[in-house]
Amino acid sequence: MALCFGGSTLAQAGGKDPLSPGPIRPGNLDYRTELALGYLKVYSAIDEFNDGDAWYFPHSSYAIYTIDGKLFKKVKNQRFPADEIPEVVALPVGTYAVVARSERDGYGRVLVVIKDGQQTILDLDLWEKETRRLAQTDR
C-alpha cells in the first residue's frame, strides 16, 4: 500500500526549492543576524542646477563617519540632478559624525544618534540658529 499526499517533489542542489539549501561548503556559512536600522535625512546647503529649462536647488553631498573617524558612507543627497528632496539613508543603529556643508558656515561636523526604526533629521541651518540662540541666552 502506497500513500501519496499531493504531487511529487524533486529537490536538486542549488535549485529554487526552499527545502534545498543548495551546495554547502564550510567556508560559506553565514551566521550574520539582521542589524537594527534607523534612518537619516540631512538638510545640507543647496546647490544650483539648471537643466536648460528651469533652475533646481538640490541639497549638497555629505559624508558619514563612524565615531572612531572612519568613512562609513558618502551620500549624494539626491536621486537625480533636479531632486530637491534630501535622500533618506538607512544606517545601523549607533552614533555617527556627519560632515556636511551649511548655507551659513560652510563645512562642519555634527554628531548624530541613529535609533532603531526611527528617522533622525539633521537641518544644519536650523541647528545653527537654535544653537546660537541658546548660546546667546546662556550668557
Q: Is residue 98 part of a domain?
A: yes
- CA-CA distance, 129 to 133, in Å (whole number)? 6
Q: Is this prediction's pTM over 0.95?
A: no
- CA-CA distance, 69 to 99, in Å (whole number)? 11
pLDDT of res. 112: 96
Q: Is residue 28 part of a domain?
A: no
How many domains are there within the chain? Answer: 1
pLDDT of res. 40: 97
Q: Are 83 and 76 in contact (CB under 8 A)?
A: no
Q: Is residue 5 part of a domain?
A: no
Q: Is residue 9 part of a domain?
A: no
Q: Is residue 30 part of a domain?
A: no
Domain of 119, CATH number, reads: 2.60.40
pLDDT of res. 129: 57
Task: Note the pLDDT tens digit of each residue in 24-34.
Answer: 444 544 555 67
Q: Could you list the residue range(s) of the whole structural domain that residue 74 is in?
A: 37-137
Q: Are 124 and 102 in contact (CB under 8 A)?
A: yes
pLDDT of res. 29: 47
Q: Is residue 48 part of a domain?
A: yes
